[in-house]
Structure 1
């Protein structure tokens, strides 16, 4: 069952995953009335030299997609740094109690 809740970004970090050092990117956690949820490391990429990309073009494409997604979030939130995302209002989509996606509520900024 899918639900959409309003909340805010509780934590925003950019770097290695604390769970898997080969995973790199943005990590977000969200708060909303009655609960909270993390992004499930959805926005991380494997940077291990042992990871087998389909080819170098695919690797570069995925890194570019990641950076474009981060840039869109920063632009929508009207900030310059990932750390400035904390407390920004968001709409969070949750599917079967798992994080699916979010968007910055640009209409209230």
Structure 2
């Protein structure tokens, strides 16, 4: 073997070392970009799930509010009906008391 055969000079060695480092850096960047893409995809799925849940909860809330308003109107109508019925009974009672009073006054 001659002198320098099988061995690289220092600039050649640095060039090989730099090439190797560039390849490693490229592999690392590719790995990082793949991980970043996975994270973005996971974030997008999570955001979509959250939006779906928000929309579902808003729909449920609207349905519950509508039902509550319906019950409130029904209770108000029932209360109004009860008030009218109570007034009719009071008027009837007053009329009967008046008739009883008239009856006893006419007897004496």
Smaller-chain TM-score bracket:
under 0.3
TM-score, reference length from structure 1: 0.24
TM-score, reference length from structure 2: 0.24
Greater strand content: 1
Greater helix content: 2
Kindly indicate whether structure 1 or structure 2 has the higher relative contact order, using CA contacts under 8 Å at least 6 residues apart. Answer: 1
Larger Rg over CA atoms: 2
